[in-house]
Amino acid sequence: MIVSSMTYDEIRKEIQNDVELVYKKSTHVITELERKMRREKLKKHLHVYEYNSKNKNKWIVKIDIGPKDVGRTFMTHFYVDNKIVAVQVIDSPFLLYYTAHFFKRYRERLTLEIAKPEELIRHYLTGSSHFVPKILEKVDNNLLKMYIVGKQGTILGTLHVNTGICKMNTFLSPSMLKSDQVEMEKEMKERLNKYNLDSGRLD
């Protein structure tokens, strides 16, 4: 089970032990959903469910079935200093690590009245889509500042090459950024300067 005392490498190993079974379970879920879609003559279907692994890790899985393809998103969550954090598995050597501060700002800046942290993660996962990080600034060979523009808003984060962690530090609503691209990127760099850039720290 993932606990707050673990390092990023230990978290990665724990996730690797889980992910094959989590993926296998999602394949069974997809089969049942496709049967339902055929019965009800649906062309698209979005389904989010929770799964507790044998290693006692809590996963939230999103299945997005479209006319031509099926998308799967896997995110596990745990608590650090009594605050929820999450790790998303993507088709890449990197893991996406969402800090407690990210979820705090996500709730505040979208003015969501969701008290339960797990429900907040479900809300984020349901509304999120595939994205590609864009580099803001190269601090050194192991650290890059980046941002991600999504359907719900913009994520500011840091890419830690040495640990393989993409750390999601905070969330900005669409109304918070300037329309001018140069000024917008300058503002995002300034906002990122406030956050801890230590890749070894869980927060």
Which is nearest to 195 in space by CA: 166, 154, 140, 157? 157
pTM: 0.88
Beta strand segments in the chain, E: 45-52, 58-65, 70-80, 83-89, 95-98, 134-140, 143-149, 154-160, 165-172
DSSP state of 176: G
pLDDT score of 185: 67
pLDDT score of 108: 96
In order along its 203 residues, the chain shows pLDDT tens digits of 999 899 888 999 999 999 999 999 999 999 999 999 999 999 999 999 999 999 999 999 999 999 989 999 999 999 999 999 999 998 888 899 999 999 999 999 999 999 999 999 999 999 987 677 888 889 999 999 999 888 888 999 999 999 899 999 999 988 887 666 557 667 776 777 777 666 666 66
pLDDT score of 65: 96
pLDDT score of 175: 83
pLDDT score of 42: 96
pLDDT score of 181: 57
pLDDT score of 184: 67
pLDDT score of 1: 93
In the block, tokens 């580099």 appear at: 135
Distance CA 7, CA 34 (A): 39
pLDDT score of 198: 63
pLDDT score of 197: 64
